[in-house]
Each structure stands twice: as structure tokens, then as C-alpha cells.
Structure 1
């Protein structure tokens, strides 16, 4: 009681599931976040144990049971959600310590090994194979870096053709039983500069194919269904003779192009709509030249600038 860590033994007899049922109702979550927490609790092997009796061994056994049937990233997400829940219980003076601390988690694949980036030739083939109405989807993922839900949310009024800019102001998400139009996630609402060829492609689409509904949706649907767009992308890959890529890989293609062109971290962050530059670095740091490459390049430039010209050498010899 002196240190402020006292927990009433009666309070600690509540089960993890019982505390979650009460605590979760007070959280301001997006539907997808709530679904992730619900999945975590359904799978949790110690949800019916009193929180005062939870031990690190319970968490270790659960992690072991998930290994092999779930991807390492999914396991890490579930343990992260568990820790959020436990922190809530500690703040509410229901628990005294986090039993997940120190638990070893499965290693993730290195980003550069897991990331698949299509080549320019492959992207060109995919764009060529796309049906006329579907080409804006391919182009906006590959040359503007939009996410699937963001492309689904594009309306004609979002495109400033003269300014060559697209304003990302909404996204479409599949939620249980319905399509939901909502604001982009934190940091994702942004203006995206468009290359001239993409502006021309979008202008031709609006003129020849048209838009949909009073809102002027660029893709079919009111609103468009992201799952349907993803399915059509798969069929487009088949026609192009390309396999193994997703619409998100086209976003990686866009990011890699910006980095190769010399764009700095903040520029790439803003173009992609990441919440912070640290997110951009975590995902794409391997694509930037490292310190040794920059040092070597700078030294080479210095050496070339200091090298005497052939004329000056002949003059000195004469």
C-alpha cells in the first residue's frame, strides 16, 4: 500500500475473460481492432484463469501452441494485444505484474527477404493486361502508392487535374455485413502528387468510362468493394502471366521508385501516408543506401574533383 502497488485479493480473483468483457466496452477501437482483440481472446488458452494466478508459464505455453499454426507476425500481434489488455488491468489495480514480460516470440523474416517488389516490366505488363475500367486501380497502386481501401475510396472530385494532385480523404473497408466509408487512418489523409501520364490516364477514364453514382466513385460500386477489386487484380495478373504479387506489392514498387530517385525519408513517409518516419524506415530502410555506400560515393566525387585534367598534366611536363 505504501508503494501504490497493492491489489485487493478479491479483485484479483476475476478471470482474464471477465475483465476483458468489461474493459473492452470502454475502448475507442476501430472495428478491425476490436475484431483482432476478439480473435486473441477466443484463442487465449488462459482466458478463464483468475488474473491473480496468471504466470509467465501460461503465456509461454500459449505462444508455443500458436507456433506452426499461425504466422510469426500474427503471434506477435496477439501478444501485443494481450499486453495492452494486461496494462489496462494493472492500471485498474486488478493485476500487479505483466506475465508476458520476457516471453520469447518467434522471429520475423527480415523485411528485405519477405518483401516482393515487381519489376517495371512486370508492372507495365499488368497495366497493359488490365481491362480499361480497371486500369486506374493498377495505376494508383503502382504510381501513387495508394492502399486498396484508399483506391476504393477515390471519387472524381478528389483529383485536381490542373494541379496534378490527388487528395486521399477516405477509405472503404469491409466490416461484418457491410461496407464502411471512413476517414483514412492517422497520418494517411494526404495530397499525392501525380505524374503527368497518370493524370492523363485518369482524365481519359473519366471521359471514356465515366464515374459511378452521384458521389462520382472512380471504381464500380457505391461504394466500391475492396475485396472485389483485389479479386480483379488477381485475374489481371493471370492475363499478364505474372504470379505472386498483391496490390500492396505495387505500393512497395512505388516506394522503391521514390527511394531510388533520391527522395528522403520524410518525403516517402508523406507520399505513402505513414503515421511516422520511423514506420517508413522500419519497412523500407533496406532500400536506402547505407552509410558505407554514401561515404564511398562522396569520396569518389572528391577524388574525381581533385584529379588534375590531362591538359594541366601535359602543361606541367612541358
Structure 2
């Protein structure tokens, strides 16, 4: 079949794609896609950051029709060399695939190169509780990071919040031993092209949805320093917090802990002290308990010991009372 005949067939089947439609650069198309696609503010912030920092430096100058599955696989390999975790690579892959799927739907290209590329493995990694900061290190970090940001450290450590969630807590959100997590702080580019921080719905939640988390009484004195603001009274967004965190780590001479390690520490402390995993999953705001089990299930309080105790208590007395004495058993064997 010659090209002209194929083109006519594609037009009849409404599958024709004008070869010139894909001659827009990845950089330009990414900007158009982010501006047009309706998405939650938190998702928009994440996707914009992924494109700006991890996709456009490598693919930005190519046209969307020039990007191949091989290009995508090379991008995965680069991210691995940069020590990106498997779940981080998968998050970037999802964003990249979303952009190219949009181009396919709008007949800018025929196929999505991300779907054609070999998907990188993404096993859910168990949290290594031994690699988390100690209680003394957390306390030192809270002091070193300064009085403005100290409440965020303790909110993450004592309630398992994400960074953006800790920056979105108001005094009235903490009452009667419960923290009502309602919002997160994100940073997005507004219609004028300026980056602004704003409050957004929680991850995996719609506008107005919230979840409760048990809050220790020791958090209540910190409420007067909420919400967390900078010296000028402006909002602090997660990347700014990370910079202050990294500087505090350096001054203290501590390992390269991530602020998210405080969330892992909270899960470790609760589960290793017998708090039910389904409750921990709900309080963490996970979309599925499977995520919690896969990452933290090994931390549940002495699971194998409790299993042995339950079975021994249930069957032990019956089994022991039903066994003949060793001497009698030996006699029976001889007689047999």
C-alpha cells in the first residue's frame, strides 16, 4: 500500500495524523499540556517540577514526534544513574506518559513512546527502620532548624504528616487530642507565569475532604506558632523547607536524612508498639492498605512471636495431653 492510499484509509477511519502536527518541541508542548489539563494543584505542582527538572533538560529540544521508545528508556537509565528510587522513576514515567497520551488523543502523534518503552521495575521497597534518624537527632534538628519551622518537624514526627501537610496546619486543626488534616501547601505557576504557594486538597483527596490523626498533648503548645509563615508573613512551601532542613543537617553533621523520614519514623514507632496497621494506614492517608503493608508490614509488633503464642495457647494443652509418655511410646513400637 502506497503512502497516498494509506493516508486516505486513515482519513476514512479517523486515524489520520498530519505529519506536521508533531513538529512542536517537547518543551512547548509540555507547557501547553500543563496549562490545559485540569488537575489538582498538588498534581500540577508535581508534574511541572518533573518536567522542568527531569524531562526537559534531556528531551526539551526534540519535537514530540521525534521522541522514541529508545529515548524514553535512555531517560529511565539516566534517572537510575542519578540514584532516583524506583517509585520516583515511576512517578516521573506517569507524568511523561500523560503528556504523550494527550498528544495522541489530540492527533499530534500516532503512538505514545512511553507505552512502547520497556516499563522500569517498581518493587515497593520496605522501609529500613535502622536508617531513620534517632529520637535525639530529630530533637536536635527541630532546634537547629529554627523556631519558625520547628513545629513542622514535630508535626511530621508526631503525626506522620507529609511536608506540605505539616505546612498547612492551623491552630484550630488541633483539638481534643486529634489533628484534623485538611490541606497541604503546594507551589504552582499561576496564569501570569509566576510561582506562587497556595493551599490545596490533600493527596488522594478531593476539595473539602480531610482525615483525623491522633495528636499527643505535647503538640498543643506549638499551636500558637501555626500556621507556619516566613518573616514577611508569606507561606512557606515544601522546597523552601527542604533547603532549611538540608542546611540544618549540614550544621549538625548528620547523614543526609530526608524530611519524609520523619513520616517513616512515625509509622515505625506506632507499628512496632502494637498500633493496628489498618489504623496506621488510614491515619497516613494511604490510598490502599496494601501500600502500608508492603512498606511497613515487617515492623508490626512481634508478629511471629504473637502467632506462636496464639497457636500454643489454643492447641498446646490438647496436643500435650494427647501424647503418650515417651516410655509407653517406645514400648508400643517394640511390641509392634
TM-score normalized with structure 1 length: 0.70
**1:100 aligns to what SS in structure 2?**
helix
Alignment partners' CA distance in 1, 2:309 and 2:229: 45
In structure 2, what is the Cα distance between the partners aligned to 1:56 and 1:132? 49
Q: CA deviation at 1:66?
A: 4.9
Contact 2:132 2:265 in 1 (8 A): yes
Q: How does 1:71-110 map to 2 (within 5 A)?
A: 71-73=84-86, 74-101=88-115, 103-104=117-118
Distance 2:119 2:256 in 1: 28
Structure 2 residue aligned with 1:246, among 258, 262, 285?
A: 258
Q: Distance in 1 between matches of 2:103 and 2:318?
A: 66
Relative to structure 1, the CA distance from residue 239 to residue 42 in structure 2 (aligned partners, 3 Å threshold; closer, same or farther) is: closer
Q: Secondary structure at the match of 2:62?
A: coil
* Greater alpha carbon shift after TM alignment, 27-36 vs 172-181: 172-181
Q: How does 1:257-276 map to 2 (within 5 A)?
A: 257-276=269-288
Give the stretch that moved more between structures: 269-278 or 282-291.
282-291
| Residue range with higher mean Cα deviation, 82-91 or 251-260 | 82-91
2:15 match: 6
CA-based RMSD of the aligned residues comes to 4.3
Instruction: Give how far 1:254 is off.
Output: 0.8
C-alpha distance in structure 1 between counterparts of 2:301 and 2:18, whole Å: 56
Q: Give the aligned partner of residue 81 of structure 2.
A: 68
1:27 matched to 2:41? The reply is: no
What is the match of residue 316 of structure 1?
none
Aligned pairs for 1:290-305 within 5 A? 296=308, 298-304=310-316
1:182 equivalent to 2:200? Answer yes
What's 1:169 paired with?
Answer: 182
Q: Which residue of 1 aligns with 2:236?
A: 225
Give the whole-Å Cα distance in 2 for the aligned partners of 1:229 and 1:21.
26
Query: What is the CA distance between 1:46 and its match in structure 2?
Result: 7.7
In the alignment, the residues of structure 2 paired with residue 218 and residue 75 of structure 1 have an alpha-carbon distance, to the nearest angstrom, of: 31
Deviation at 1:255, TM superposition (A): 0.8
Separation in 1, partners of 2:133, 2:143: 15
Say whether residues 1:147 and 2:162 are aligned partners: yes
Q: Deviations over 1:270-300 (max 9, x none)?
A: 2112233343344334434899777545433
SS at match of 1:112: coil
SS at 2:81 equivalent: coil
Question: Which TM-score applies when normalising by structure 2?
Answer: 0.67
Give, in angstroms, the shift of residue 133 of structure 1.
6.9
Residue pair 1:7, 1:94 contacting (<8 A) in 2 also: no
Q: CA deviation at 1:27?
A: 0.6
Note closer, same or farther for the CA distance 1:219–1:303 as it changes in structure 2 (3 Å cut).
Answer: farther
Per-residue CA distance 1:203-233 (angstroms, 9 max, x = gap): 4445xxx44xxxx536665355255655665
Question: Structure 2 unaligned runs (5+)?
Answer: 1-8, 189-193, 326-336
In the alignment, what sits opposite 2:4?
none
Q: Equivalent residue of 1:87, what SS?
A: helix
Q: Is the 8 A contact 2:47 2:95 kept in 1?
A: no
Indicate the SS of the match to 2:133.
Answer: coil
Aligned residues: 296
Distance 2:250 2:61 in 1: 45
Where 1:8 maps in the other structure, the secondary structure is coil
